[in-house]
Amino acid sequence: MANEVRDYLSRQFETAWALTEFHLNGLATEECLWRPAHQGLHVHQGPDGRWRADWPDREDYDIGPSSIAWLTWHLGFWWSMVLNHSFGDGTLSRENVMWPGTADDVRKWIGELQSQWRAVLEQVTDDDLRSAQRTRWPLQDRPFGDVVAWVNIELTKNAAELGYARFLYAVRAR
């Protein structure tokens, strides 16, 4: 049954990825750095040239809408964390995940994460899906299949957010 479940999860992932890829295609750096409101989560370039992301201390509507740069950073952040904590040394932290700085580099970064994740999905076994051994972030003490399902949901959510922000950018007041 787990192979069947793995196949469902993989097909779900492919759908989520297609939606994400659709919204990443043609994305420009100018769009990424545009802010849809005077406040909201964004990225900031430090004196060292690296782009760091805001981190909310709460998740309320009044913090404002996120920029596309922040949304793409967030996508790369959680995916990097899942891969590092499930298949790496588990030492990656939010503070060490930087926004790449351009839309082209965003596509490259997220594409590499997608390739790594796809390779994981191809190798995952029945026992892996049932086991909590690899489940370290963002969930604990749950079957790894729950992490795979969470990635699919989170990716779909991020695709929707990116699409909505791109619609807003396209019709912004000029």
Average pLDDT over residues 16-41: 97
**pLDDT value of position 62:** 95
Model confidence band, residue 126 (pLDDT cutoffs 50, 70, 90): confident
pLDDT for 99 beyond 70: yes
Q: For the purposes of burial, counting CB atoms within 10 Å of the CB of 34, is it exposed (0-12), middle (13-18) or buried (19 or more)?
A: middle
pLDDT tens digits, 136-165: 999 999 999 999 999 999 999 999 999 999
Angle at 161 between CA 160 and CA 164, to 5 degrees: 85
Q: DSSP label at 99? A: B
pLDDT tens digits, 55-95: 999 999 999 999 999 999 999 999 999 999 999 999 999 99
Strand ranges, E, within the chain: 43-45, 51-53
Residue 99 β-bridge partners: 51
Write the secondary structure of 83-94 as one string of H (helix), E (strand) and C (coil).
Answer: HHHHHCCCCCCH
- Which residue in this structure is represented by tokens 């503070």? 95
**pLDDT value of position 4:** 84
- Which residue in this structure is represented by tokens 């949901």? 153
115 contact partners, CB below 8 Å, separation of at least 6: none
pLDDT averaged over the chain? Answer: 96
Average pLDDT over residues 159-172: 97
The reported pTM is 0.95
CATH of domain 2-37+63-170: 1.20.120.450
Residue ranges covered by each domain of the chain: 2-37+63-170
Q: What share of the chain is helix, strand, coil (3-state, %, to 5)?
A: 60, 5, 35
Average pLDDT over residues 31-53: 97
pLDDT for 134 beyond 90: yes
The CA distance from 111 to 59, in Å, is 28
Residue 51 β-bridge partners: 45, 99
pLDDT for 17 beyond 80: yes
**pLDDT value of position 69:** 98
Average pLDDT over residues 119-138: 93
**What amino acid occupies position 8?**
Y
**pLDDT value of position 106:** 98
pLDDT for 1 beyond 70: no
